[in-house]
Amino acid sequence: MTNILTASENLINIAVIISFIGISISLACLLYRVITGPTQPDRAVALDSMGINLMAVAGIMSIYLVTPNLNDVILLIGILSFLSTLAIAKYLEKGVIIDRDLD
Amino acid sequence: MYKYKTNDLILRTTTSLIAFILLGFAVYLLLAGHNSPGGGFVGGLMTSGAILLMNMAYGFETVKKVLPINFVKLIPIGLAVAAATGAGSFLFKQPFLSHTFGYFHIPIFGEVELATAMLFDIGVYLTVVGVMMTIILTIANDKD
């Protein structure tokens, strides 16, 4: 029984490390896209994807630290990333973020 | 400023769904702050995020009709709630800001521990919502 437990613990550790490496490679590629994006919407989309990758980092980190306290952080990063992408998109399209009257 | 009229159907439909999720998450963060991460500050920030999302999707005047709240008045109301929570301990011959708790029986939830630190948290919540919405709506108002 303890054999299975240590084996699964080793498996979780290896999976967490592989996930960290994959997410960091993805973040580096997205950072390249943010720096050398030809247009502004490229940078906006890359920043949105970086927010999603940060959610993944928080989830993997909560597995790595064995704590459930990071679950609220994941939801919070998702909501803030959505709001910021929406604000950037609206600024690029209209020039104002909060307009007085739409109709 | 407008070169053409935009059609925000997807944004508006998504907003009317997501704003309620955001408000529910804000209330959850406010109530869960005693035993887990959260509290009045993050709950207030989430509520102002929901109101900001409605402002971005529907425009300033429409949200003002839907939510007729003067956010500047929300700041002194929150501060008064927090100060009254602190001063309420004088009624029981206790030092300033000393809090207490008790166990109550509520029909659906059963035995619940209710603490008076919750009232202080509600004061923080109202103040944060008022400050954030005052800042955002004051900066956004550039047409006048």
Nearest to B44, CA basis, from B136, B135, B131: B131
Instruction: Give chain B positions within 8 Å (CB) of A96.
Output: 1, 140, 142
- C-alpha A100: how far from its chain's center? 32
User: What digits encode the pLDDT tens for the residues B40-64?
Assistant: 899 999 999 999 999 888 888 888 8
Rounded Cα distance between A48 and B100, Å, is: 44
Answer whether A66 touches B (CB < 8 Å). Answer: no
User: What digits encode the pLDDT tens for the residues A1-33?
Assistant: 788 889 888 999 999 999 999 999 999 999 999
Rounded Cα distance between A43 and B8, Å, is: 22
Q: Do A95 and B140 touch (CB under 8 A)?
A: no
3-state secondary structure of A18: helix
| Contact yes or no for B60/B137 (Cβ under 8 A) | yes
Q: Do B1 and A100 touch (CB under 8 A)?
A: no
Predicted interface score ipTM higher than 0.85: no
Q: Do A102 and B62 touch (CB under 8 A)?
A: yes
Q: Do A98 and B25 touch (CB under 8 A)?
A: no
Residue B93 scores a pLDDT above 60: yes
